[in-house]
Structure 1
Amino acid sequence: MKHCLLLISFALLTANLGYAQKEDIKDAKDTGERKDYNKWTLEVTAGQSKGTKPFTVGYYSSNPDKMFGSINFNTFSVGVRYMFSAKFGLKADFSSDQFTNNKNTDSKDFKLQQYRFGLQGVVNASRLFNIQQELGRLSILIHAGLQGAQATPKYKPDEGEVGYFYNKSELNLGVMFGISPEFRVSKKFSIIGDFSTLSNFRQHWTWDGRVSDKSNNLSGQMIMSSIGLTYSFGKDNIHGDWAIIDEGKLKEIEELDKRIGELESMLNDSDKDGVPDYLDVENNSIAGVAVDTKGRMIDVNKNGVPDELEKYMANTYVDKSNIKETLETANADMIKRLINEGYVTTYFDTGKTNPTNVSTEGIDFMLTYLRNNPSASIDIIGHADEIGKTAYNDKLSIGRANTVKNTLIKAGVDASRLNVVSEGEDASVAIDSKDARRLVRRVTFKVRE
């Protein structure tokens, strides 16, 4: 039996090394997302089984004085498995076991033939514990259930021997538990090993075919190890134990998580004016300045200066003896300052040179300013975020500035008053923040002296 265990371990080690080399790992990735998978699997195995107890004194199946016995494949099994879901299934199997004394031992001769049928539940532990990606081509199945067996002694005893039931059969009943590691070798075939233990709650004969008192329940135990092949059959083109499962409930949860994430993004308030970004058509308003329900700074007299700033300037800096002229000068200085400090802005989506629909008011503001100040000229400064290569971002920022320039020219502004400047990548915000990067994909302006 130990030789059999070594053989299984070597096979699994070789398989694992093949996985580590990642020679055919692409096969595990070519499945796509499926709504179905192969639910049926056929298993054929061979290996070694032996009874551990009870035995009659003088009979045993292994040699306690030797580390290894002879390799003896004395169990053969065929089974079929059906998976109700990606994690749980049912398995029926039939096996033939033959128990004899090891020829390298001092045990007396015996031979017992057993035919066993089992019905067990199966758990795909790789999926249950969500470690299938880490295991790659490996998979681990756990099975447990009921079994019934017919045991028939086949060794013809010496004449007159008492307590031996030659060619008579007994029905044994019990439970079994096992672990089956798998390694996928092709899209539908896998190598499978199995390590199982069986405990009978109804057994009257020893594994050598003898009994001293048939009325006593001997509670027999046996262990099994085997190796073989599985074949997954169905309409899918990959083994059901490895197919990528697109389960409905899981998909609903993922969609719900995505919608919640989108809702959280919509409720962000980049300029802290109390209006969520998805409603804010002017998401660069000055902190503390009153805005309307769409996030626009309130400017009742339409002179380009928010009313609150205008009132503050009038109360603080305006010469009351010449209030009209002083107010006009203060307003002009304030507007120039707002422009030069980047409060007048036009925003862009990722990789785009056309401004977003809600940010064209920055261009409208500059058009009004240039019309009211016919001697003024401006720099149109393009910016980009840090995503992508620097050369591409430089080209993108100059493209954005040129788009704004061409818009102003078409609106009647002389091209000689417009100077395009590329600032390229703006590294002033966190590169891993999607919301922060929105604020640097922009065009700003500067009034030239």
Structure 2
Amino acid sequence: MKKKFLLFVLICISGSYAFAQDDSEFEAEFNKWSIEGGVGLTKQWQRTFSPGYYAVDPNFLAVDLGLRHMLDEKFGYKMNFVYNKFSASSDADIDYTTKQYGVALEGVMNIGRMLHFESWTKTLGLLGHAGAGVGYLDYDQISVGKDWVGNVVGGLTAQIKLSNRLALNLDGTYRANIRQNRGFGGDEIDFNNLAGFFNGTVGLSVYLGKNKTHADWYLREDEKIKVLDSNVSNIEERIQAVDDTKAEKSDLEQTQADVDQLAKDVDALKNQEPASYDEFVKQLVNDGYISVYFDFNSTKVQGSSTNSINFMKAYLTKNTAASVDVQGFADELGSDEYNQKLSQKRADAVVKLLTEAGVDPSRLNAIGKGEDTSVDKSSAGARQIARRATFIVK
């Protein structure tokens, strides 16, 4: 009973400690870095084109390459490089190709984790990102030099987890160019030095690091539970090891004492010169040398106790006038009421076996004796001895 109580207390303490810790104290283990890339289409603001400078809608090509670092499961930042190519449409009067290059630093929010996507999916995610950067436009058709611009950036990235190392990204990002001096075709136009375009890309995130999971998919509470389960298992093993150590020592001492006592009892019986062999056997049975054993919290007779059942059957067959009280016992683990019922069921189980073996049930009486308090309840081996049924021949 003490072992169960100790285990319960340790589990409660471990659980309270694990869940009482805030996130800063919990040693979360997840990968933080990822390399990202995507390719797709771009769409410019049409109002930034002069007549005759129309562009393909949407335009190709948009490329986005980046390095992202997550501070935790919800927030991070990334540095990315962007390349865009804007080309004239078939109905444009002037054929042109313009390229824009840029870099940006953005903050990242794991919206999927904030909205608890994990409650309904383990493979879909959503990131939000926003920031600022710089870049320039290179107009191939005119010699005006690089048109340096500032960028304000914002977008969403839908994620599909492919593995612990790879995720498919579907990104939509809007970039506003600040202080852009010309249109995307290189034409002179008054648009208050503000232009913009939308990029839609498909790409991959490659997760880096030695840990199993990246911050995008890390579930802190699930990991806490795993740690708690591991702690509980360790506690159980330690308790069992201590219990086994005690059991080995106490079992050896108890076994030696039983052997010594048995030798004394046999010598004493020999000196008494019993009236007959049957009386000698009766005395051995009543002194508890014939017993039937059970597993913990079980009413099923152990297979090793079959010989004891056969012995009692043979004795009762030869001594037809004899009757037997079958006494059931339980160890001290559990309440008194429960152990009383368990001991009665064990006695009933032995009576049933003897009856099925051919003994008249009227000669058998099942008595539940409750707990056997004669053994050391801290010893696993001794408690096994207490889980038994004995016989009293009348």
Please give the per-residue CA displacement for 1:324-368, whole angstroms capped at 9, x wherever unaligned.
xxxxxxxxxxxxxxxxxxxxxxxxxx97775775621687xx8xx
Deviation at 1:92, TM superposition (A): 0.7
Q: Is 1:51 aligned to residue 26 of structure 2?
A: no
Deviation at 1:76, TM superposition (A): 1.7
Q: Is 1:36 aligned to residue 22 of structure 2?
A: no
Partner of 1:401: 345
Partner of 2:194: 219
TM-score by length of 2: 0.51
Please give the per-residue CA displacement for 1:280-336, whole angstroms capped at 9, x wherever unaligned.
xxxxxxxxxxxxxxxxxxxxxxxxxxxxxxxxxxxxxxxxxxxxxxxxxxxxxxxxx
Q: Is 1:151 aligned to residue 153 of structure 2?
A: no
Letter in structure 2 aligned against 1:123: M
Q: Is 1:189 aligned to residue 175 of structure 2?
A: no
**Greater RCO between the two (CA within 8 Å, min separation 6)?**
2
Q: Is 1:61 aligned to residue 55 of structure 2?
A: yes
Letter in structure 2 aligned against 1:152: D
Residues 60 and 86 in structure 2, CA contact (< 8 A), matched pair in contact too: no
Partner of 1:360: 336
Deviation at 1:237, TM superposition (A): 3.1
Please point out which of 126, 144, 169 is paired with 2:112. 126
Residues 34 and 245 in structure 1, CA contact (< 8 A), matched pair in contact too: no
Please give the per-residue CA displacement for 1:357-397, whole angstroms capped at 9, x wherever unaligned.
5621687xx8xxxxxxxxxxxxx5x7xxxxxxxxxxxxxxx
Letter in structure 2 aligned against 1:75: A
TM-score by length of 1: 0.45
Residues 129 and 154 in structure 2, CA contact (< 8 A), matched pair in contact too: yes
Change (3 A) 1:81 1:402: same
Please point out which of 46, 52, 70 is paired with 1:83. 70
Q: Whole-Å Cα distance in 2 between the matches of residues 403 and 41 of structure 1? A: 68
Partner of 1:98: 85
**Matches for 1:42-441 after TM superposition, within 5 Å:** 42-52=35-45, 53-62=47-56, 73-103=60-90, 105-156=91-142, 166-212=143-189, 217-245=192-220, 357=333, 359-360=335-336, 401-402=345-346, 418=366
Please give the per-residue CA displacement for 1:124-164, whole angstroms capped at 9, x wherever unaligned.
111111112423222111111112111121114xxxxxxxx
Change (3 A) 1:362 1:142: closer
Q: Whole-Å Cα distance in 1 between the matches of residues 114 and 66 of structure 2? A: 22
Letter in structure 2 aligned against 1:203: Q
Q: Whole-Å Cα distance in 1 between the matches of residues 122 and 92 of structure 2? A: 46
Change (3 A) 1:73 1:55: closer
Change (3 A) 1:197 1:351: farther
Q: Counting strand residues as a fraction of each chain, which structure ranks higher?
A: 2
Change (3 A) 1:141 1:107: farther
Deviation at 1:193, TM superposition (A): 1.5
Deviation at 1:56, TM superposition (A): 1.5
The alignment partner of 1:211 has SS state of coil
Please give the per-residue CA displacement for 1:420-442, whole angstroms capped at 9, x wherever unaligned.
8xxxxxxxxxxxxxxxxxxxxxx
Please give the per-residue CA displacement for 1:218-253, whole angstroms capped at 9, x wherever unaligned.
3111111111121000011344422343599x77xx
Q: Which runs of 5+ in 1 are unaligned?
A: 1-32, 64-68, 157-165, 256-349, 367-379, 383-398, 407-414, 421-449
What is the total number of aligned residue pairs between the two structures? 234
Letter in structure 2 aligned against 1:149: G
Q: Whole-Å Cα distance in 2 between the matches of residues 403 and 244 of structure 1? A: 52
Change (3 A) 1:244 1:212: closer
Identity of aligned residues (%): 23
Q: Whole-Å Cα distance in 1 between the matches of residues 111 and 147 of structure 2? A: 35
Letter in structure 1 aligned against 2:131: G
Q: Which runs of 5+ in 2 are unaligned?
A: 1-25, 230-295, 300-329, 351-362, 369-394
The alignment partner of 2:35 has SS state of strand
Residues 69 and 77 in structure 2, CA contact (< 8 A), matched pair in contact too: yes
CA-atom RMSD, angstroms?
A: 3.7
Please give the per-residue CA displacement for 1:160-214, whole angstroms capped at 9, x wherever unaligned.
xxxxxx241122113111111122223312221211112234322211112256x
